[in-house]
Amino acid sequence: MNTGNLVSLLAIVVLGSTPVLAASAGPRFYGDPPDDTHPWAVHDGNRPQPKTVVPGTFSTADQAGKPPSDAIVLFDGTDLARWQTDKGKPAPWRIVDGVMQVEPGSGGIQTRDSFGDCQLHIEWAAPAKVEGDSQGRGNSGVFLLGQVEIQILDSYQNVTYADGHAGAYYGVNPPMALPVRPPGEFQVYDIVFRRPVYKDGKALDPGYVTVFVNGVLVQDHTPLEGPGGHMGRSRVGPLPDKGPISLQDHGNPMRFRNIWCRALPPRVCEGGTDGALPPEIARAKRHEIAAAIRQDAATLRNPDQPLPELLRLFESLVYESDPPTLEKAEAMATAYVQTVKSLPADRLATKRDEVRNLRDVFKYLARFKRIPDAFAPKTAVEQLIQDQGWDRKRN
């Protein structure tokens, strides 16, 4: 194992409950470093790992699939415990053979819990026996925040107004296609919902809805224009941060199964730190990362093996310039090279790889102006490698 890997494996720091640094090994001094809008380097080994999710299974015509491991299950075929009327009464819809069915005339139902930005999965089927036409045929709807309706309609060989078809952002935007199955068969909706973000009355992000119907994209990051609705022009504006997910009773005995959602992480405009950031946010994040690395460096302190600590100190400079840290790391590097040079020949020979690694670290730091052009330990390391012939190919 080279020293870089050793250092990486030791790099586990948790500040409070928030993992600031990766708990796993990964490259250091490697990709382009952080810049004014990116707090992480390219391929940054310090960057936290994405959470692990065990994927679910897909549904078949007869069998509902399984949700992914981090989903909030809203309906799994057993009960309506997570649902209620808009008056807070128990949901009056029926469960038949593990499927939820609208009790026409009983009113819509909504989740007891509130949700904001989410990935929502829902499957529905219109009655196999076709009755009515246009909006009167197999109509329901799923409402994000209890307001924004993604239309549910038996659109199979059914003509209606375009912005009222299955997969429409109702009254606002038609679906880009109608990939619907015949009535009686289950249709699968996968929806990505991002609510509008306003600050001081100004829109930082209009919010968006993306919808797949039976795996086919029908709403492509469509900007929100208010709740949508029947006949009235919807207006752009703020919406609540959270609200129930609602299902519509439009008088048809529609069926539902396999309903789940996953909360989504914050966007940059609301405090998320993945993506290009405003410079002041990027600077603050870089400071946070550098501080965590310096804290980690202190845990590596070992007079007999100074290299892990000094590498970690240099690493912190990739994120944030800090003269006292540079001064300390320089002194440690100078002492390290002196110590190595004074070793007897047989032990000196064993230092070849770690010294060459240190030379590469200095090259990286110099290339990105993290150390001065004239940096004494860099010169000393290069001289040592040259004197020992450590760059020559070995026989």
- Contact positions toward Mg ion, by CB under 5 A? 139, 141, 248
Q: What is the nearest approach in angstroms of Mg ion to the Cβ of residue 152?
A: 6
Rounded to whole angstroms, the Cα distance separating 246 from 232 reads 20
For 254, what's the count of Cα atoms within 13 Å in the CB-facing half-sphere?
Answer: 31
Whichever of 102 and 381 has its CB closer to Mg ion, that residue is 102
Are 34 and 317 in contact, with CB atoms under 8 Å apart?
no
3-state secondary structure of 326: helix
How, if at all, do strands 72-75 and 255-263 pair? antiparallel
Whether 79 and 101 have beta carbons less than 8 Å apart is answered as: no
The nearest distance, CB 248 to Mg ion, in angstroms, is 5
- Nearest distance in Å: CB 316, Mg ion: 56
**Between 224 and 358, CB nearer to Mg ion:** 224
Looking at beta carbons only, is 114 or 135 nearer to Mg ion? 135
CB of 170 to Mg ion, least distance (A): 6
Q: Measured between alpha carbons, how far is 298 from 314 in angstroms, rounded to an integer?
A: 13
Task: Give ∠ CA 299-305-306 in degrees, rounded to 5.
Answer: 65
Q: Which is nearer to Mg ion, 151 or 316 (CB)?
A: 151
Are 26 and 45 spatial neighbours (Cβ–Cβ below 8 Å)?
Answer: yes
Q: How far is the CB of 82 from Mg ion (least distance, A)?
A: 21
To the nearest whole angstrom, how small is the minimum distance from the Cβ of residue 143 to Mg ion? 9
- Contact indicator for 71, 261 with CB cutoff of 8 Å: yes
Q: Of the two residues 120 and 381, which places its CB atom closer to Mg ion in the complex?
A: 120
Nearer Cβ to Mg ion, position 254 or 326? 254
At position 270, the amino acid (one-letter code) is E
- Cβ 229 to Mg ion, closest distance in Å? 10
Q: Which residue is nearest to Mg ion (CB)?
A: 141
Would you say 39 or 146 has its CB closer to Mg ion?
Answer: 146
Smallest distance, Å, CB 37 to Mg ion? Answer: 42
3-class DSSP state of 18: strand
| Residues with Cβ within 8 Å of residue 70, at least 6 apart in sequence | 51, 53, 262
Distance CA 123, CA 244 (A): 18
Q: Alpha helices of 258-395 — where are they, by DSSP H?
A: 279-299, 307-319, 323-341, 345-349, 352-367, 376-388
Between 141 and 207, name the residue whose CB sits nearer to Mg ion: 141
